[in-house]
A and B are shown apart, each in its own frame.
Chain A
Amino acid sequence: MKTVFPLSIAAAMALALTPAMAQKTASQGIDEYRAMLADGNPAELFEAKGEDLWKKARGPKNASLEKCDLGKGPGVVKGVFVELPRFFADTQRVQDLESRLASCMEMLQGFNAAEIAKTPFGRGEMANVTSLATWVSAESKGLKFNLSQSHTQEKTFYEVGKRLFFQRGGTHDFSCASCHGEEGKRIRLQDLPILTKSPGDGLGFAAWPAYRVSNGQMWSMQLRLNDCYRQQRFPYPGFGSDATIALSTYLGVNAKGAASIAPAIKR
């Protein structure tokens, strides 16, 4: 009979649950749970959908996205994910993957990018942007983050992103750094990646888009940031807004050298 789960699981399961070891066992138990889920990530369903959406002629102009320039030239998908956000000459703007996809959907397919930005996550064309981002990210699996800082706007966005990362506010005085400023911390049982430097391969910025098992939804980086801000008790960050892209630039530059595991699976 083929072993279904990694051997480490069997080892973890063999450990006795004694009160003195309860804490250690709890985190081992969580690791075991995550390992069991890693094989068979429903993100694959969204990845397949994204690839289909990229190749299919759609929108008012009945065109595919195959000529979309995500930073490495029209139609190049492999490797772009680990270099975004970056400056784009045609929009004169630093863009992340999702805002760039929306631009391509407007320029090539005739969709209205501003309308897409207003659509709630998980609905209509916004859901399609998420699926597309899932597929594009998967095409860079294992590659290391390496964002450009050569354009002035890229540098400026990094500096603005840094200020946003440390911005305390809201009813709880939280900033991103409240949770992600130190190494080895966690909320409840959830490990928190440090984001002021590279937290390592497949952690933090290198782990989104991810499938969230808690709600069965595919979460893009824009939604990840949106929900961080919600839990920070901050007001609502617009989709593809300069703040979200500046913050992404800060996180992406800091992630330099970290290998991407996106699309990941998360709690």
Chain B
Amino acid sequence: MQTRRETLKQSAVLAGLLAAAGFPGFAMAAFNKAGFDAKSVQDATKAFGASSLAESKDVTIIAPDIAENGAVVPMGASTSLPGVKQLLILVEKNPSTLVAAFNVNDAVDANFSTRAKMGQSSDVYAVAIMADGKALWAKKEVKVTLGGCGG
């Protein structure tokens, strides 16, 4: 229950930010549907309230150069910057770009890893959504190859 309440609280804050940034009509929901439906890195980060996008060497994306199989591709996002609210992991050429969004708080390092599906070779992004509304990104190209017989 506490989980639910906290998530809702965050969403309320988020919706407020979005309204301020010029996104009226954004549905208040625990799950950021707009973010996960977005077809581009830009649209996905906008859905998390970011007003500007910039590359940053203080954000790190970890992913392999080559994935033997697109079904499971390890990816990690991290940053040492203070004032980060969320860390997003995105795959540019997936049908929907956003893979996962991790909320950052004082209790955890801003460093998360998971594994994503990739439909094809693509740039993958780590995006840090900052408290000041900036979105800072790092990207890396991951080649998806055919590892086996192709049968």
Contact = CB atoms under 8 A, between A and B. Distances in A.
B72 A190 contact: no
Contacts of B64: 9, 29, 32-33, 36
A204 B27 CA distance: 53
Interface string B66-104: 111101111010101000000000000000000000000
Nearest to B68: A267
Contact of B148 (A12, A26, A188): A188
A267 B151 CA distance: 14
Contacts of A230: 151
The interface size bin for chain B is 20 to 34
A88 interface: no
A202 to B, nearest CB: 17
A189 interface: yes
B53 interface: no
Contact of B113 (A4, A13, A33, A34): A4
B107 interface: no
Interface stretch (A107-115, A149-157, A209-217): A209-217
Q: Which of the listed residues B72, B146, B149 has the most CB atoms from chain A within 10 Å of its own CB?
A: B72
A155 to B, nearest CB: 33
Interface residues of A, number: 27
A214 B76 contact: no
B147 interface: yes
B109 interface: yes
A216 B71 contact: yes
Given A30-B66, A213-B72, A214-B69, A231 B111 contact: no
Contacts of B66: 26, 29-30, 32-33
A266 B143 CA distance: 18
Contacts of A17: 65
B130 interface: no
Contacts of B71: 213-216
A189 B68 contact: yes
A25 B74 CA distance: 18
Contact of A37 (B65, B74, B76): B74
Interface in A197-221: 213-216
A267 B69 contact: yes
B148 A187 contact: yes
Contacts of B149: 187-188, 231
Nearest to B80: A1
Contacts of B78: 1
Contacts of B145: 26, 30, 188-189
A216 B64 CA distance: 19
Interface in A1-28: 1, 4-5, 9, 12-13, 17, 25-26
Given A190-B147, A190-B148, A30 B68 contact: yes
19 contacts: A1-B109, A4-B62, A4-B76, A9-B64, A25-B65, A26-B145, A29-B143, A32-B66, A33-B67, A33-B73, A34-B68, A188-B145, A188-B146, A189-B145, A189-B146, A190-B68, A190-B147, A213-B72, A231-B151
Given A33-B67, A188-B148, A267-B68, 4 more contacts: A1-B109, A30-B147, A189-B146, A213-B72
Interface of B: 62, 64-69, 71-74, 76, 78, 80, 109, 111, 113, 115, 143, 145-151
The 8 closest A-B pairs by CB, nearest first: A29-B66, A213-B72, A33-B64, A29-B65, A36-B74, A267-B147, A214-B69, A267-B68
